[in-house]
Amino acid sequence: MILDSDLIFTIGILMGLLAFPSLLSAFSGGRSPRTAAVLFMICIGLITTAVIMKPSGYSVADAPDVVVRVFNRLLN
């Protein structure tokens, strides 16, 4: 599979979603949120890379369509 901007954008969103439970777990356990910080930095890097790769960019309204398009492509 070729890593296109839509796939990179979707992976970035998923990394960002994984950062929140890690952040909550770290704060509730009294630990520093290192894993959450790393996941969030990966998220920002991947989304930035995807926006740079796509000349027209992405808008917030495009995000659900992009994610659905990537998952449809993976399942079919």
pLDDT reported for residue 34: 94
Provide the domain limits for residue 25.
5-75
User: What is the torsion angle, in degrees rounded to the nearest 10, for the CA atoms of residue 17, residue 15, residue 58 and residue 67?
Assistant: -70
DSSP string for 13-28? HHHHHHHHHHHHHHHH
pTM greater than the 0.85 cutoff:
yes
Half-sphere exposure (Cβ direction) of 6: Cα atoms closer than 13 Å: 15
- Per residue in 15-51, pLDDT (tens digit) is 999 999 999 999 999 999 999 999 999 999 999 999 9
The domain tally of the chain equals 1
Contact 56, 50 (CB under 8 A): no
Residue 47 CB coordination number (10 Å): 20
Confidence of residue 1 (pLDDT cuts 50, 70, 90): low
